[in-house]
């Protein structure tokens, strides 16, 4: 199924990790770049999808309370978008479909990134999360050192 008519992404070697997705052309802020697709699986059904099987790290995308998308099966180039703590893209979920948007103007050949904010769904199945598996290599000045989402700050008062 083709949902987008424009093709913004080219896949190449990433300076962050493994393969990455790069802008084929200038992408204006707010552009819907690509849909994040793949096999739909129940939350928690895969702890570390394919991490040991593949040379690159791949993660499931949590769509809602019950469903995740595993891009290793039926995924498109969106699965090559790396994590960054200072990303140029962000994800939005509409009607249980996930889209990647440009959160600022992106120049041609720039690597596309979004903040994975990997969450506790990985912790299910009774196994503890090994933080060393989620080290961030994004290299941005404000890198928080992990691809895990930060815990919400406790409110004062």
Q: How far apart are CA 22 and CA 106, in angstroms?
A: 10
Residue 8 region by backbone torsions, left for phi larger than 0, else alpha for psi between -120 and 50, else beta = alpha
- Cβ contact 40:81 at 8 Å: no
Strand-strand pairing, 113-114 and 82-83: parallel
Scanning 66-74, 77-85, 90-98, 115-123 for contacts with Zn ion by CB under 5 A, the matching segment is: 77-85
User: CB of 27 within 8 A of CB of 33?
Assistant: yes
- By beta-carbon proximity to Zn ion, the closer residue of 17 and 35 is 17
Tell me which stretch binds Zn ion (CB under 5 A): 8-16, 23-31, 85-93, 148-156: 85-93
CB of 61 to Zn ion, least distance (A): 18
Closer residue to Zn ion in complex, CB, 100/138: 138
Residues 6+ apart with CB under 8 A from 125: 44, 47
Which of 48, 68, 78, 85 binds Zn ion (CB under 5 A)? It is 85
Distances from the Cα of 95 to the Cαs of 63, 102, 153, in angstroms? 10, 19, 29
Tokens of 25: 């052309």
Residue 118 in the binding site for Zn ion (CB under 5 A) = no
> Between 18 and 37, how does the x/- string for binding to Zn ion read (CB under 5 A)?
--------------------
The nearest distance, CB 81 to Zn ion, in angstroms, is 14
Residue with smaller CB distance to Zn ion, 112 or 138: 138
| Residues 126-145 within binding reach of Zn ion (CB under 5 A) | 136, 138, 143
Enumerate binding residues for Zn ion (CB under 5 A).
85, 136, 138, 143
């Amino acid at each position: 199924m083709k949902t987008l008519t424009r093709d913004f992404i080219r896949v190449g070697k990433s300076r962050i990790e493994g393969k990455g997705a790069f802008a084929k052309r200038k992408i204006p802020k707010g552009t819907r770049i690509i849909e994040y697709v793949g096999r739909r699986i129940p939350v928690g059904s895969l702890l570390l999808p394919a991490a040991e099987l593949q040379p690159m790290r791949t993660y499931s995308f949590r769509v809602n309370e019950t469903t995740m998308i595993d891009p290793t099966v039926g995924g498109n180039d969106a699965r090559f978008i790396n994590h960054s703590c200072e990303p140029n893209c962000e994800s939005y979920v509409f009607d249980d479909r996930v889209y990647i948007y440009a959160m600022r103007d992106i120049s041609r050949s720039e690597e596309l990134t979004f903040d994975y904010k990997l969450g506790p769904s990985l912790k299910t199945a009774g196994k503890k999360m090994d933080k060393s598996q989620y080290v961030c290599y994004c290299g941005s000045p404000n890198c928080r050192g992990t691809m895990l989402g930060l815990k919400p700050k406790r409110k004062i008062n």
